[in-house]
Amino acid sequence: MDSALIPRGVKRCPTWQFILGIVIVGAVLLWGVFAMLLCWIKGLNQTNMNTAYGFAIWIWADLAVIAVGGGAFFTGFLRYIVGKDELKNIINFAVLIGFICYSSALLILAIDIGQPLRGWFIFWHANVHSMLTEVAFCLSCYFGVLCIEYLPLILENRQIDKVPFFHNLSHNMHEIMAVFAATGAFLSFFHQGSLGGVAGVLFGRPFGFREGVLIWPWTFFLFTWSAAACGPCFTILITKITEAIARKKLVKDNVIELLAKISGWMLLTYSVAKIADTWYWATVTAPSKGFTLMDFYSNNPLYGIWILILEVGICGVLPALILITDKGRKTSFALWAAVILAVIGVCLNRWVMVLQILAVPVMPFISWHMYFPSWQEIATTILPVAYGIILIMISYRYLPIFPQEAELNPIEPPTYAEEDKQEQEEPVETQEASNAPEPEMQPAEA
Amino acid sequence: MFPFSFEWVWDMDHIVFHGGLWYALNIMGLGMTYCIIKAAWDTYKGKGGHNH
């Protein structure tokens, strides 16, 4: 039914199967939309927010999706600025994942502020002393950059590409994509960092407070570093999941291994910096405020010292050591384990830096503030996941997301004959196909 | 916020914050304008269609 929209040289599941998948995930999406509308119509009393937790569970979801979405800016930086040419085969998917993550982050923020009609206040009545203002500026602008990076992919759809203006627009955008990628890297550096900076400047909360350079606490640099390290791991993870569901190889091993290797070294250096930062904080910063390390990890039902060991050791050093070794990257199980651990690690880091901070008592007579979200918060946090799955399904089906797919999965001869027959029926399309660029090439390269 | 807004103050904070915002928005705006105009020109010249 929709075969005319599917990229040439690749095979997709039957339409009914695709629609069934959309309907199943769409049901989850609708549940989230219902909860979102409840929050907007009835107000934030639908959440379990209180004076200790003024941002609900959403603040963690927001920081986590922004961290794992960091794969888009870092892969773009490596591809266009550093010149790692092999990454052109995964950059489209990295951009798609980044687009999903950042649009989700903005959606979560729109729910979290409770009054989205006043969302523009932060731009017009900007508090120029706030790191969150910087986050809002850079986040919105970077989402604009991601839209610009995602647009050529849409324009490369088989039918849209037939329109000369759209073909030329896509070609021109690819030509100057390095400019947009550089802008994206600049914006990402600052908003990832400022999200960490927010925790680091809280001198009234010694669990988060850190010293630093000029106005930037060490958490500023650690957040950017961890996003650049773990973002590509998330890209690899989603690529592997897509390959498992599609039951075919979509990206060559050398591309995945290159990204995994860079990610591994980034993660290793980040882990060393994080350990040094934690050590200094535990032995100098926290005691100077009247706390010992174990004050932050005892007398509560959830936050034990295990969370620190899990975050820094098991989900930091361990995946880094796997990813920097050639054998680790080439072994499928080890690679899966490493990228999953790295993604859990960065999500756990964001949890600790925004939710554990709020839980820790800051006065001797205050007990720990534990928190459990309402079902509306859970539904609206799952909403972006369903939205992301649907967008990946649609993009994978109709857009040339994986340039190496046709080469890695040659279609059987009978299907070629069917395509020839179909092309004979469409002479104009055939002529265009002969003029079209090679499947592995971007329009600019063609 | 623009310099002619009543809330604007000519200090380093406003210049750095809003300067960065306008810088990024200008790059995106000018980049897209260039691409669209060039695409329109190329289409007018017959590129990208059957003769491409």
Residue A428 reports pLDDT greater than 70: no
If pLDDT is split at 50, 70 and 90, which confidence band does A420 have?
A: low
Q: Which residue has the higher pLDDT, A289 or A115?
A: A289
CB contact under 8 Å between B13 and A141, yes or no, is no
d(C-alpha A251, C-alpha A362), whole Å = 50
Flag whether pLDDT at A305 surpasses 50: yes
**Residue A115 banded pLDDT, cuts 50, 70, 90:** confident
For A68-76, what is the mean pLDDT?
A: 94
3-state percent breakdown (helix, strand, coil) of chain B, nearest 5: 65, 0, 35
Residue A81 DSSP class: I
CA distance A52 to A358: 6
pLDDT tens readout for residues B1-52: 888 888 899 999 899 889 999 999 999 999 999 999 999 999 999 887 654 4
* β-bridge partners, A217: A212
Are the beta carbons of A134 and B17 separated by less than 8 Å?
A: yes
Q: Give the mean pLDDT of A135-139.
A: 90
DSSP state for residue A88 in the 8-state scheme: G
Q: Which residue from B minimizes the CA distance to A168?
A: B39
User: Using CB atoms, which residue from B1, B28, B43 is nearest to A126?
Assistant: B1
pLDDT of A429 higher than 70: no
Q: Please say if the pLDDT value at position A353 is more than 60.
A: yes
Q: What is the dihedral of CA A235, A239, A241, A246, to 10 degrees?
A: 160
Partner residue facing B35 (CB), from A164, A169, A435: A169
The two three-digit tokens of residue A112, written as one number: 């979290």
> If pLDDT is split at 50, 70 and 90, which confidence band does A247 have?
very high
pLDDT number for residue A418: 56
Residue A443: pLDDT band (50, 70, 90) is: very low
Cβ atoms of residues A353 and A278 within 8 Å: no
Q: Would you say residue A399 has pLDDT above 80?
A: yes
Q: Indicate whether A440 pLDDT > 60.
A: no
> Domain residue spans in chain A?
3-47+55-407
For residue A70, give both structure tokens. Answer: 């960091």
Q: What b-and-e string marks burial along A299-319, b requiring 16 or more CB atoms within 10 Å of the CB? A: ebeebeeebbebbbeebbbbb
* Interface probe, candidates A132, A172, A179, A426, chain B, greatest B C-beta count within 10 A: A172
Over 50: is that where the pLDDT of A371 sits? yes
Among A403-407, A422-426, B41-45, the least confident range? A422-426
Pairwise pLDDT comparison (A115 vs A34), residue with the higher score: A34
Interchain CB contact of A179 with B (< 8 Å): yes
Residue A217 backbone phi and psi in degrees, to 5: -70, 165
Q: Give the DSSP letter string of A311-363.
A: IIIIIIIHHHHHHHSHHHHHSHHHHHHHHHHHHHHHHHHHHIIIIIHHHS-SS
**Which residues 151-170 in chain A show a CB within 8 A of chain B?**
164-169
Q: A144 is written with which tokens?
A: 């604009």
Contacts of B5 in chain A (CB under 8 A): 124
Position A214 scores a pLDDT of: 85
At residue A234, the pLDDT reads 97
What gap in Å lies between CA A218 and CA A15, rounded to an integer? 51
Substitution target from A123, A124, A128 for chain B, most B beta carbons within 10 A: A128
Q: What pLDDT score does A421 carry?
A: 55
Please give the average per-residue pLDDT across A335-358, as a whole number.
Answer: 96
Give the Cβ contact number of residue A367 at 10 Å. 9
CATH topology assigned to domain A3-47+55-407? Formate dehydrogenase/DMSO reductase fold (1.20.1630)
**What is the pLDDT at residue A249?**
94
The whole-angstrom separation of Cα A192 and Cα A137 is 12
Average pLDDT over residues A412-438: 50
Its pTM stands at 0.90
What is the DSSP annotation of A200-248? HT-TT-TTT---EETTEEHHHHHHHHHHHHHHHHHHHHHHHHHHHHHTS
Query: Are A225 and A73 in contact, with CB atoms under 8 Å apart?
Result: no
**A242-254 average pLDDT score:** 95
Q: And the tokens for A36?
A: 């979102």
C-alpha–C-alpha distance, residues A221 and A218, integer Å: 6
Torsion of CA A133, A134, A140, A141, to 10 degrees: 140
The encoded tokens of residue A198 equal 């927010």
* A419 has a pLDDT exceeding 70: no
Looking at the complex, report in whole angstroms how far the Cα of residue A179 sits from the nearest Cα belonging to chain B. 8
